């Protein structure tokens, strides 16, 4: 083997085994960027949450003839389905503008449970198309199981003065022209709007076992002949279910009612 061949072989040997480490293929070690932090869910205070629920109700009233309006109302009403009969729980006037006069959270007779009251002035329209100025009140409570605020009832005119309504129906529980079932139902509803939850439960429980016809007769028949007794029972149970939800009582858990003392 001549010297030229030996030299060439040596050069190839050195070139093969002295390749710099930097020229070898390396895995991609570029750091993976960290995921963007998920912003925390904003905490909505009770006053704002209750206002939002009543705002949705008002929007639903405005377009109540449309499926979207019905859906809005269904989502924020405590009383729904067959129990929501006529104006028994909700006044839904046609209106153009609603201006809030005041709003507040109010305490109830049950620790830890507050209600929400909102009073508005409405530019309403009568069925005949006559412009009206209507005073409108809304009462809402929070579902302790879901934390969702819902509207219990709305009213106009005399119904704005809730304490007056409680006093009136409390003094007329034994009106001979009405069934006691209906009287105790109405009284219980107004007590609940007033935040007297324990008394409302007692009144509604009494209604379940009360007479479904009046004692006053007309042409040999009771003036209140029990036509609406099935509806009344449905509404009574709906309100008792509301009380369970706003006080955090689960189905099957009984609470002790208080004695009714109309005042």
Predicted confidence at residue 15, as pLDDT, reads 44
Q: What is the pLDDT of residues 95-153, one digit of tens each?
A: 999 999 999 999 999 999 999 999 999 999 988 889 999 999 999 999 999 999 999 99
In the predicted model, is pLDDT for residue 82 greater than 50?
A: yes
pLDDT score at 251: 54
Domain boundaries, the chain: 44-160, 161-263
pLDDT of residue 221: 86
**Alpha helices (runs of H) in the chain, residue ranges in sequence order:** 3-17, 46-62, 67-76, 162-171, 180-193, 197-208, 229-247
Whether residue 256 has pLDDT greater than 60:
no
Q: Give the torsion through C-alpha atoms of 10, 16, 22, 24, to 10 deg.
A: 180
Cβ 173 vs Cβ 186: under 8 Å: no
pTM for the predicted model, two decimal places: 0.80
Q: Which residue has the higher pLDDT, 82 or 38?
A: 82
- Alpha-carbon gap, residue 9 to 15, rounded angstroms: 10
> 163 near 90, Cβ under 8 Å?
no
Dist. CA 36–CA 190, nearest whole Å? 51
**Is the pLDDT at 57 greater than 90, yes or no?**
yes
The pLDDT-based confidence of 261 (bands split at 50, 70, 90) is: very low
pLDDT tens profile 15-40: 444 445 444 555 556 666 666 676 66
Summarize pLDDT for 172-204 with one digit per residue, the tens.
Answer: 999 999 999 999 999 999 999 999 999 999 999
Give the per-residue pLDDT at 127: 85
Mean pLDDT of 57-86: 96
Output the average pLDDT for the chain.
Answer: 86
pLDDT for the residue numbered 213: 94
Q: CATH number of the domain at 44-160, out of 3.10.450, 3.40.50, 3.30.70, 2.40.50?
A: 3.10.450
Query: Is the model's pLDDT at 258 over the cut of 50?
Result: no
Q: What is the DSSP letter of 218?
A: E
Beta bridge partners of 100: 120
* Tokens of residue 13, six digits: 């040997």
Does residue 255 have a pLDDT over 80? no
- Asked if pLDDT for residue 7 goes beyond 60, the answer is no
Per-residue pLDDT for 247 more than 50?
yes
Interatomic CA distance for residues 82 and 231, integer angstroms:
8
Does pLDDT of 1 surpass 70? no
Would you state the structure tokens that stand for residue 59, as one six-digit string? Answer: 């929007």
């Amino acid at each position: 083997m001549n010297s030229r061949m030996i030299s060439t072989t040596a050069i190839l040997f050195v070139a093969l085994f002295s390749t710099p480490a930097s020229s070898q293929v390396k895995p991609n070690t570029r750091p993976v960027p960290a995921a963007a932090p998920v912003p925390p869910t904003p905490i909505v205070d009770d006053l704002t949450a209750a206002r939002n629920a009543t705002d949705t109700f008002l929007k639903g009233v405005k377009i109540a003839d449309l499926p979207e309006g019905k859906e809005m109302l269904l989502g924020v009403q405590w009383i729904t389905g067959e129990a929501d009969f006529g104006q028994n729980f909700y006044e839904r006037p046609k209106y153009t503008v609603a201006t809030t006069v005041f709003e507040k959270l109010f305490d109830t007779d049950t620790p830890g449970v507050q209600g929400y009251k909102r009073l508005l002035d409405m530019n309403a329209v009568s069925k005949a198309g006559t412009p009206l100025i209507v005073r409108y009140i809304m009462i809402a409570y929070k579902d302790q199981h879901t934390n969702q605020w819902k509207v219990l009832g709305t009213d106009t005119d005399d119904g704005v003065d809730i304490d007056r309504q409680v006093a009136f129906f409390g003094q007329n529980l034994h009106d001979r022209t009405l069934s006691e079932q209906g009287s105790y139902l109405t009284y219980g509803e107004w007590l609940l709007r007033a935040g007297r939850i324990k008394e409302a439960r007692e009144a509604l429980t009494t209604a379940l076992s009360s007479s479904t016809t009046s004692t006053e007769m007309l042409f040999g028949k009771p003036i209140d002949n029990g036509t609406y007794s099935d509806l009344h029972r449905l509404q009574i149970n709906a309100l008792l279910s509301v009380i369970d939800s706003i006080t955090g009582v689960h189905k099957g858990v009984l609470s002790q009612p208080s004695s009714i003392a109309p005042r």
